[in-house]
């Protein structure tokens, strides 16, 4: 298949008052990426962090910062996030109907990796043009809960979207986000997801390192079967 597992603890479940040490803890436990949930209180009914916090965290770590933009106007965030060292910039397809081409181009020009996310109610066909075009996104994030909050229940019916994507794109990074953990990882990995976001299952575990390695193993085993 040619994709590698990326296990990305969601820092939304961390102690935000100790973000740098929480990030270090997750990397020491074997995390590949740090998933940063940026919410504007408008696209979703929750408000979290923005570029100033990414800037502060960047001073403490060289890790890949996988930014998930749950915002109404993603284009306004490209320049500020690029400037402070964000690594991935994943915007929602529902918020970029008018300007996704410009967005992708701008994200790349700031040295970030562009990704597109879709909510549970959005059909998978809506992201195909963004992957099939000349200047495509490099990751698709399939939401497996309604965006906005951690700790929700995984929606197994979203795996049809992941399967459809993997069938069409053998080497695309496919990320899943929401309700992932030891009891749901096999469903996501066997459907073809290779980038795994997990908040409460990692931060709430007595041994986060074991949860991270369990999820990596599941992705690797399923990849071998392909």
- Point out the catalytic residue in the list 32, 37, 40, 173: 37
The listed partner (ligand DX5, Zn ion, none) that binds 9, CB under 5 to 8 Å by sort, is: none
The listed partner (ligand DX5, Zn ion, none) that binds 151, CB under 5 to 8 Å by sort, is: ligand DX5
**Nearest residue (beta carbon) to Zn ion:** 68
* Alpha-carbon span 83 to 58, nearest angstrom: 11
Q: Is 37 noted as a catalytic residue in this protein?
A: yes
Determine contact, residues 144/179, Cβ cutoff 8 Å.
Answer: yes
Q: Alpha carbon 173 to chain centroid distance? A: 10
| Helix, strand or coil, per DSSP, at residue 177 | strand
CB of 206 to Zn ion, least distance (A): 24
Determine contact, residues 210/175, Cβ cutoff 8 Å.
Answer: no
Q: Which residues bind ligand DX5 (CB under 6 A)?
A: 10, 12-13, 35, 37, 68, 145, 147-152, 177-180, 197-201
**Nearest residue (beta carbon) to ligand DX5:** 199
Question: Which of residues 37 and 192 has its CB atom nearest to Zn ion in the complex?
Answer: 37
Reading phi first (left if > 0) and then psi (alpha if -120 to 50, else beta), residue 111 is in left
State which of residues 177, 191, 196, 215 lies at the interface with Zn ion (CB under 5 A): 177
Q: Is 28 noted as a catalytic residue in this protein?
A: no
CB of 52 to Zn ion, least distance (A): 19
The listed partner (Zn ion, ligand DX5, none) that binds 180, CB under 5 to 8 Å by sort, is: ligand DX5
What single DSSP character describes residue 175? E
* Other CB atoms within 10 Å distance of the CB of residue 66: 29
* Alpha-carbon span 14 to 26, nearest angstrom: 10
| Residues acting as catalytic residues | 37, 177
């Amino acid at each position: 298949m040619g994709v590698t597992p990326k296990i990305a603890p969601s820092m939304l479940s961390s102690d935000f008052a100790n973000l740098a040490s929480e990030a270090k803890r997750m990397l020491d436990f074997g995390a590949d990426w740090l998933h940063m949930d940026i919410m504007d209180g408008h696209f979703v009914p929750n408000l979290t962090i923005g570029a100033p916090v990414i800037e502060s965290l960047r001073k403490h770590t060289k890790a890949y910062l996988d930014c998930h933009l749950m915002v109404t106007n993603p284009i306004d965030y490209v320049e500020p996030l690029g400037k402070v060292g964000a690594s991935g910039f994943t915007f929602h397809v529902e918020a970029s109907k008018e300007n996704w081409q410009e967005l992708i181009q701008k994200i790349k020009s700031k040295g970030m990796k562009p990704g597109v996310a879709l909510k549970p109610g959005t059909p998978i066909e809506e992201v195909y043009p963004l992957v099939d075009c000349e200047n495509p996104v490099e990751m698709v994030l399939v939401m497996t809960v309604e965006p906005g909050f951690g700790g929700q229940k995984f929606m197994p019916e979203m795996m049809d979207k992941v399967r459809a994507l993997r069938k069409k794109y053998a080497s695309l990074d496919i990320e899943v986000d929401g309700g992932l953990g030891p009891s749901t990882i096999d469903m996501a990995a066997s459907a073809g997801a290779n980038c795994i976001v997990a908040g409460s299952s990692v931060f709430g575990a007595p041994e986060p390192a074991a949860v991270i390695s369990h999820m990596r193993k599941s992705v690797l085993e399923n990849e071998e079967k392909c």
